[in-house]
A and B are shown apart, each in its own frame.
Chain A
Amino acid sequence: MSAISASEKVDGFTRKSMRKAQKQRKSQGSSQYRTQSAPVELSPLPQLKDAPSTEQQELFTKKLQQCCMLFDFLDSVMDLKSKEIKRATLNELVDYVSTNRGVLVESTYPEITNMICTNIFRTLPPSDNPDFDPEEDEPTLEASWPHVQLVYEFLLRFLENPDFQPSIAKRHIDQKFVLQLLELFDSEDPRERDFLKTILHRIYGKFLGLRAFIRKQINNIFLRFIYETEHFNGVAELLEILGSIINGFALPLKAEHKQFLMKVLIPLHTAKGLALFHAQLAYCVVQFLEKDPTLTEPVIRGLLKFWPKTCSQKEVMFLGEIEEILDVIEPTQFKKIQEPLFKQISKCVANPHFQRALYFWNNEYILSLIEENIDKVLPIMFGSLYRISKEHWNPTIVALVYNVLKTLMEMNCTLFDELTSSYKADRQQEKKKEQERDELWKKLDELRLSNTNLFQNNSRGLPCVQNNNNNNNNNSNNDNQDKSAEAAAVATDNKGPEVKDPDVSVAA
């Protein structure tokens, strides 16, 4: 008991920073499932540059084969000598393919791809931290990076070599290869994802036959991410690649691409970790709209459908994206979506905490669009703005809202006056409507009750559903009765002791 620090004694909870410190100590993982038995010790081969040119090819192949040996990096002292030999060899190979011409003869392709596949394709290890939060936690780094990095480097130089022939390579860099490469984007190690991004981009550029396949598989990864696992580390990287791919789409857009936008990119906005890839996502969306402005309406309706309800951090991102879209929107498209869009903006403005939406009025282009359509926009916005100008607690916001109201008033003075004078009447009208609704439902409930009594056994077709409201009430009562251990532990006692008991300062 003596070893426990005083602070730990007091609350018994380990603080997050402490848990984090523990984690960082072992932030390396690797999942090279060893099908091969214990690695054989490597012996160094002669340098490629020293070999006579007739033997160079054979030596190159031998070195590639030597690099197929995998080592356990979780044990940092194991096979040190062989690990060093492999590292040096890989370095030499990288150098060899990037500086020499004429080394990529057809017979080396299978050896090269075999070496690459053996080293990089693996099932990623289970995350060290089951509730890994990419925004907060340190990623687990790949333990075998000293070797894997060089293999990625080699692959990149191989693809970029002027002698590289896609027509030969396509027998090895095929759909299966790409599929495995895409799975690696889930790596927690950002260094690895960065390499993968460049490599996939090169492959997309060089292998025309794989393009549709790559797009479709990315599609699948995103759908799995959105609707099944909610977890994939490489979304931002894949979106970055897509951003440049979309840029190159031919017009008119194929149905496949439009479907990708509506069924994949828009739903991606619902993801929990949107902050990690929102910039890339918004870029892709805007790329699409610049290509084909007629997509504006469905895109904005899609965003409105997935508009965040409780997460203001996300809402700010949505507003940012809307502003980016409005920056490039065509006036005819604006007319199509102004009504639903400004209903949402009106709700955002009315939020007691947060007024990002008001900054739209600082944007010249948006302002000109509003002015053009003031007779539609003003009636939607007026209620919220007027109420905030009267009721909001923050003087800066009130000043901001006054400016916006002033701008709107200058756009159409008569309409503004009309709305001001009818404001009260409109509110009363709303209240009346609400009352009517209450009465309607009361009547319906009575009908249901009398009917349940009459037709006890008639459950088919018209069953009775228990009143949901009642259930909710019961739940909240139960919550009060639940006494969790935590609450009990934290709330040490019922009343403040200091005030009533002068002699307890010695306690605890």
Chain B
Amino acid sequence: MAGADGDDSLYPIAVLIDELRNEDVQLRLNSIKKLSTIALALGVERTRTELLPFLTDTIYDEDEVLLALAEQLGNFTMLPPLESLATVEETVVRDKAVESLRKISQEHSPVDLEVHFEPLVKRLASGDWFTSRTSACGLFSVCYPRVSSTVKAEIRQHFRTLCSDDTPMVRRAAASKLGEFAKVLELDYVKSDIISLFTALASDEQDSVRLLAVEACVSIATLLPQEDLETLVMPTLRQAAEDKSWRVRYMVADKFSEKAVGPEITKNDLVPAFQNLLKDCEAEVRAAAANKVKEFCENLPEDNREQIIMTHILPCVKELVSDTNQHVKSALASVIMGLSTILGKDNTIEHLLPLFLAQLKDECPEVRLNIISNLDCVNEVIGIRQLSQSLLPAIVELAEDAKWRVRLAIIEYMPLLAGQLGVEFFDEKLNTLCMAWLIDHVYAIREAATCNLMKLVEKFGAEWAQNTIVPKVLGMANDPNYLHRMTTLFCINALSEACGQDITTKQMLPVVLKMSNDQVANVRFNVAKSLQKIGPVLDSNALQTEVKPVLEKLATDTDMDVKYFAQEAISDVKLRSTNQSSAQDRPPLAALQNKVF
């Protein structure tokens, strides 16, 4: 480390500490963020003897500075300042300090851990003010696996104490670390210690503590053998599913899956509980449960899965389809299609199809969108034809929705729909929609429509493009509205590559060239940009004889933007013709475009 020892004359500690103490918060913050540089200048020894005490003692600063400090200290093995930071009130600072301490703990040998680290945790755990105790909760699990059994017993005792702390903040911290701590404990202690703590926290007087216990329940359940679950976990879970606070019930609906508990308990307990959650009086809970319908059904024991779904789950699902709350309906719509793979063809047609159709007619666009976005699941089971008659009106209505975000969403599903429905159905029913979007009054929609065409061509091929969309796109070049004329250019930019050299040269290029005489400057400079863009697709002959003269003419335009883009395009085309072999390389267009806008 000889080279790293600081030079006293160059970097006196006073100057460096002055920087860390500067009156201007921003400068102080900058210095803290370069703490490692300062430490480097001081050398190891002086960092330990001079910088460390300073950092430990002068921790009364703005939280922003403390946050930076807590983060920086994760790179050093300096416990004392982090211990102070772990007692700070501001949550982000404290959390960062704990994170750094956890990181550092990994670098301690088991001996160091017991000599230096564990005493720190103990001090925090028995601190006066709640902040240090909450920080301690996050540190037990990192020490526990690597210390001796006496120390282990102490740690367990500390954790127990904090679980019944007087302050709800500490109990919340303990409850949120319960699952993590359970994972590092020996199974016997999980059964003896964790379960009783879990039961106590799950019946805490504050719902904010109870709901965290529910979260821990998931990891605890995975640790226990099947036969213990019924006696150790289920009574508490049953109680939580019927808690008087909707927040706790929400947590049960959101977090609990039956993967952890096995078929018997599932049938006897979880199914009725889940039914109740689907029928809960608070929409939040119903929505969380509705979101889990598919996952829940998938994980049911296979031998009588179908029967459970048909008799217990499906009746609730039917009710949710006409729920009063749109979040519930849209949560359901996002998963309901998944049930068809589980229930098979006949059940889907008889029971699910009416529900899909009802949701496709829902007043809320989000519900309809969610159904449409998951069509692929149904397609596999019954084929999309069954739905197509109802699908079409739903799609048309969404395509013309007053909110452009809704229109945008349905455009994004078009390539997927096209793939599912096939080219004939598409040509017959949806093609007109796709073309109509090109003249939407919102730019984002026109842009998305352009991109959509490109994806469709990739799917259906160049020949299809030549017959169905290219003529329509090129026809718009004569539109009286210059925005529509520009859309032609944008489409050509997007389509040329997918359509190939032939179509681009013979059909698109003449139109683009003709538009170079447009009276609107915006159109003209977009011609220049288009020529640059489709250049790589054209052969060198067309480039030289047709493109170049037009660009040269545009380069003498009266409008400065037209000139600029024409020149950009010329230099790009030149580069290309001198370097024919790399014709496939794309120019760094993004950079050019950003330069201007």
| 9-residue interface stretch from B29-37, B255-263, B348-356, B364-372 | B29-37
User: A123 within 8 Å of B by Cβ?
Assistant: yes
15 chain-A/chain-B pairs, Cβ below 8 angstroms: A10-B441, A12-B404, A123-B245, A126-B282, A220-B169, A263-B129, A267-B89, A444-B37, A461-B76, A464-B36, A481-B590, A501-B482, A501-B519, A501-B520, A508-B441
Q: Which residue of B lies closest to A72 (CB)?
A: B281
| 9-residue interface stretch from B143-151, B387-395, B442-450 | B442-450
Q: Which residues of B from 366 to 419 have beta carbons under 8 Å from A?
A: 400, 402-405, 408
Q: Which residues of A from 295 to 346 have beta carbons under 8 Å from B?
A: 305, 343
Task: Check if A500 sits within 8 Å of B522, measured CB to CB.
Answer: yes
| 9-residue interface stretch from B38-46, B224-232, B421-429, B457-465 | B38-46
Q: CA A11 – CA B442 in complex, angstroms? A: 8
User: B75 within 8 Å of A by Cβ?
Assistant: yes
User: A78 within 8 Å of B by Cβ?
Assistant: no
- Given A460-B107, A489-B442, are A451 and B4 neighbors across the interface (CB < 8 Å)? yes
Which residues of B sit under 8 angstroms from A267, Cβ to Cβ? 89
Q: Which residues of A from 390 to 435 have beta carbons under 8 Å from B?
A: none
Q: Which residues of B from 234 to 278 have beta carbons under 8 Å from A?
A: 244-247
Task: Check if A493 sits within 8 Å of B442, measured CB to CB.
Answer: no
Interface residues of A (CB under 8 A from B): 1, 4, 8-10, 12, 14, 31, 33-35, 122-123, 125-126, 176, 179, 220, 223-224, 226-228, 263, 267, 305, 343, 437, 440-441, 443-445, 447-448, 451, 454-455, 458, 460-465, 468, 480-481, 485-486, 488-489, 491-495, 497, 500-501, 503-504, 506-508
Q: Which residue of B lies closest to A462 (CB)?
A: B40
Q: CA A458 – CA B44 in complex, angstroms? A: 12
Which residues of B sit under 8 angstroms from A14, Cβ to Cβ? 403
User: B19 within 8 Å of A by Cβ?
Assistant: yes
**Pick the contact of B441 from A9, A228, A454, A465 — CB < 8 Å?**
A9
Q: Which residue of B lies closest to A340 (CB)?
A: B23
Q: CA A494 – CA B33 in complex, angstroms? A: 41
Chain B proximity of A86: nearest CB distance (Å): 20
Chain B proximity of A5: nearest CB distance (Å): 8
Task: Check if B441 sits within 8 Å of A1, measured CB to CB.
Answer: no
**Pick the contact of B522 from A122, A228, A497 — CB < 8 Å?**
A497
Task: Check if A506 sits within 8 Å of B481, measured CB to CB.
Answer: yes
Task: Check if A448 sits within 8 Å of B442, measured CB to CB.
Answer: no
- Given A305-B62, A437-B19, A464-B36, are A220 and B408 neighbors across the interface (CB < 8 Å)? no
Task: Check if B402 sits within 8 Å of A497, measured CB to CB.
Answer: no
Chain B proximity of A17: nearest CB distance (Å): 17
Chain B proximity of A333: nearest CB distance (Å): 20
Q: CA A508 – CA B441 in complex, angstroms? A: 6
Q: B193-227: contact bitstring with A at CB < 8 Å (1 yes, 0 no)?
A: 00000000000010110000000000000000000
Chain B proximity of A386: nearest CB distance (Å): 19
Q: CA A226 – CA B75 in complex, angstroms? A: 29
Q: CA A12 – CA B405 in complex, angstroms? A: 8
Chain B proximity of A507: nearest CB distance (Å): 5
Chain A proximity of B162: nearest CB distance (Å): 16
Chain B proximity of A462: nearest CB distance (Å): 5
Chain B proximity of A168: nearest CB distance (Å): 24
Which residues of B sit under 8 angstroms from A4, Cβ to Cβ? 402
Q: Which residue of A lies closest to B249 (CB)?
A: A33
Q: CA A227 – CA B168 in complex, angstroms? A: 13
Which residues of B sit under 8 angstroms from A497, Cβ to Cβ? 482-483, 520, 522
Task: Check if A33 sits within 8 Å of B205, measured CB to CB.
Answer: no
Task: Check if A489 sits within 8 Å of B441, measured CB to CB.
Answer: no
User: B594 within 8 Å of A by Cβ?
Assistant: yes
Q: CA A225 – CA B102 in complex, angstroms? A: 27
Task: Check if A460 sits within 8 Å of B522, measured CB to CB.
Answer: no
Question: 10 closest A-B pairs (Cβ-Cβ)?
Answer: A489-B444, A12-B404, A4-B402, A123-B245, A501-B520, A507-B481, A1-B400, A126-B284, A508-B441, A488-B444
User: B91 within 8 Å of A by Cβ?
Assistant: yes
User: B114 within 8 Å of A by Cβ?
Assistant: no
**Pick the contact of B244 from A35, A458, A465, A494 — CB < 8 Å?**
A35
Which residues of B sit under 8 angstroms from A123, Cβ to Cβ? 207, 244-247
Task: Check if A488 sits within 8 Å of B443, measured CB to CB.
Answer: yes
Question: Size band of the B side of the interface?
Answer: 35 or more
Chain B proximity of A251: nearest CB distance (Å): 24
User: B90 within 8 Å of A by Cβ?
Assistant: yes
Task: Check if A126 sits within 8 Å of B597, measured CB to CB.
Answer: no
**Pick the contact of A228 from B34, B38, B41, B91 — CB < 8 Å?**
B91
Q: Which residues of B from 470 to 524 have beta carbons under 8 Å from A?
A: 480-483, 486, 519-522
Q: CA A468 – CA B362 in complex, angstroms? A: 51
Chain A proximity of B71: nearest CB distance (Å): 10
Chain A proximity of B76: nearest CB distance (Å): 7
Name, among A122, A227, A504, A508, the residue most crowded by chain B CB atoms within 10 Å (CB to CB): A227
**Pick the contact of B402 from A12, A224, A463 — CB < 8 Å?**
A12
Task: Check if A228 sits within 8 Å of B282, measured CB to CB.
Answer: no
User: B14 within 8 Å of A by Cβ?
Assistant: no
Task: Check if A455 sits within 8 Å of B37, measured CB to CB.
Answer: no
Q: CA A263 – CA B88 in complex, angstroms? A: 11
Chain A proximity of B24: nearest CB distance (Å): 10
Q: CA A504 – CA B522 in complex, angstroms? A: 13
Q: Which residues of B from 436 to 456 have beta carbons under 8 Å from A?
A: 441-445, 447
Known pairs A224-B168, A447-B37; list 6 more (Cβ under 8 Å).
A441-B34, A461-B77, A465-B33, A465-B35, A489-B443, A493-B486
- Given A123-B246, A227-B89, are A463 and B36 neighbors across the interface (CB < 8 Å)? yes
Which residues of A sit under 8 angstroms from B442, Cβ to Cβ? 12, 489, 492
Q: Which residue of A lies closest to B442 (CB)?
A: A489
Q: CA A503 – CA B39 in complex, angstroms? A: 69
Q: CA A484 – CA B76 in complex, angstroms? A: 40
Q: B61-82: contact bitstring with A at CB < 8 Å (1 yes, 0 no)?
A: 0100000000010011100000
User: B181 within 8 Å of A by Cβ?
Assistant: no
Q: Which residue of B lies closest to A508 (CB)?
A: B441
Which residues of B sit under 8 angstroms from A447, Cβ to Cβ? 37, 40-41
Task: Check if A451 sits within 8 Å of B3, measured CB to CB.
Answer: yes
Q: Which residue of A lies closest to B250 (CB)?
A: A126
User: B11 within 8 Å of A by Cβ?
Assistant: yes
Task: Check if A443 sits within 8 Å of B167, measured CB to CB.
Answer: no
